[in-house]
Amino acid sequence: MYCSIIPPYLLRRLAAQHHEPRLLVAARAAKEALQHVKSFQASRAAPVPAAPPGLRQLTPGPPQRTVYDAKASENLPGVLVHKEGEPATGDPAADEAYDGLGSTHRLYAEAFGRNSIDGNGLPLDATVHFGQRYDNAFWDGKQMVFGDGDGQVFNRFTASLSVIGHELAHGVTQFSAGLAYRNQAGALNESLSDVFGALVEQYVKQQSAAEASWLIGEGLFTDQVQGTALRSMKAPGTAYDDDVLGKDPQPDSMDSYVHTSADNGGVHLNSGIPNRAFYLVATALGGKAWETPGRIWYDTVTGGTLPAAATFTVFAKATAASAKELYGAESAEHDAVRRAWETVKVRV
Amino acid sequence: MKITVQRSGGIAGMERVWSVQALTDDDRNQWKPLVEACPWDELPGRAQAGAGGVPQPDRFVYRIRAGQRRATLPERDLVGPWRTLVDCTRAAAESLDQPG
């Protein structure tokens, strides 16, 4: 924030002295200072965004994690079982949630310089053992919530680091682009959660794009299920094929985009298309996916210009623009982004 | 009367459907009060969005049909008689799937 030591009326008087040779330098400096004051006053009048676009936060602090136990009820947050810095509880769900919150915080801090979910040190809260045989996990706008699974199809939902990262990423999207949770904007919202959920897993294991599984929710299924994960970013539609659950219904390009009113317009289905685009960029460029593709996607969602009702095309164009700004119009990065979207048949 | 509950959404994005048929008089006497207890005419205007107006990510969406009546509710609004109807439908449908 710019504060003027010299009051504006004095700066104006000085700036007016440009005819006086002795005061020419001072006049020029005063004129420049006045410009700063004007823009400062203008930005003060304008509504302040939740996080200034593109502004790197100061070195992120450590996470402030709290884990609660809902004890099979649906009351939130539940009983406090683990505060930041305390030793492990011995309850696998609580410990996995605590560790997963930490890993996610670390990815955002170290790879993107982001101080927690809101960029401003938001405490990270999670509730485990929500409901009875509750086969789900979600972000409620303030915290993460995890069920224990039903024991038939699903194990406990904290068992997958990509799921923990996925939920927290919904918070990041909420505090940045605020993508609406329906239709294409919702599928982008979902995809961003899969992208950053996958990156948390890859970051912890320090895996390259080639080494990564690109699976979301690996390890959640019980032995009874014929499938490896909830979703595959590498090959949407191949994560499971089970007698009872059916086949993974995700499309891998606009050719098989799903038009439905269920699931808020198919947000968990059509996310396969932008998921695959990210995977294609990551493998085209090689190396660690959080470094370049992650940076492009992160800048796109936090840059302040992505609309809440963005379509796939709007988002694709925005990623190409981010890549161009970061790496140049003729760069391999910009090229990889454009080709990825072309491959999944999204117009750039 | 046929009662069908379709659940979509959730982080897994998997669709589940539970159905029961109330065919006999006994069946209807059992299910009719559960159906009638639900405020079918008082659904939120933006049914998908829920009472608060903004869907919570990765929560379920329930589409309920009972006879000619239809309702779509986000998980957050599945409370009281709606919750009872869904839980009973699910329990009945799943018990039909279990071996005798």
What is the DSSP secondary-structure string of A4-36? -SS-HHHHHHHHTTTTSGGGHHHHHHHHHHHHH
Pick the CATH number of A3-176 from 3.40.50.2300, 3.40.50.720, 1.10.287.1770, 3.10.170.10: 3.10.170.10
Q: Which residues of chain A lie closer than 8 angstroms to B54, CB-CB?
A: 141, 181
Reported as a single tens digit per residue, the pLDDT across A213-229 is: 999 999 999 999 999 99
**CB nearest B9 (choices: A140, A154, A268):** A268
Q: Determine the Cα–Cα distance for residues B48 and B39; give it in Å rounded to an integer.
A: 16
Please report residues of A whose CB lies closer than 8 A to that of B10.
Answer: 135-136, 138, 268
Question: Per-domain residue ranges for chain A?
Answer: 3-176, 183-343
Res A36 pLDDT > 80 = no
In degrees, rounded to 5, the angle at the alpha carbon of residue A250 between the alpha carbons of residues B49 and A157 is: 70
Query: What number of C-beta contacts closer than 8 Å exist between A and B?
Result: 74
Q: Has residue A29 got a pLDDT over 90?
A: no
Name which of A163, A181, A261 is nearest B11 (Cβ-Cβ): A163
When pLDDT is averaged across residues A194-222 and rounded to a whole number, the result is 98
**pLDDT at res. A45:** 42
Write the ipTM. 0.90
Let me know if domain A183-343 sits in CATH 1.10.390.10: yes
pTM for the model stands at 0.85
Rounded to an integer, the average pLDDT of B16-42 is 95
Q: At A340, is the pLDDT very low, low, confident or very high (cuts 50, 70, 90)?
A: very high
pLDDT tens digits, A124-160: 999 999 999 999 999 999 999 999 999 999 999 999 9
CB contact under 8 A, B57 and A193: yes
For chain A, the helix, strand and coil percentages under 3-state DSSP, each to the nearest 5 = 45, 10, 45
- DSSP tag of A48: P
Q: For A70-218, where are the E strands, in sequence order?
A: 79-83, 124-128, 137-139, 144-146, 215-216
Q: Could A264 and B6 be called an inter-chain contact, meaning their C-beta atoms sit closer than 8 Å?
A: no
Nearest CA of chain B to the CA of A270: how many Å?
10
B54 pLDDT band (50/70/90 cuts)?
confident
- A53-98 residue pLDDT tens: 445 546 889 999 999 999 999 999 999 999 999 999 999 999 999 9
A189–B14 C-beta distance less than 8 A:
no
Task: Tell me: pLDDT of A3 over 80.
Answer: no
Question: pLDDT at position A33, please?
Answer: 59
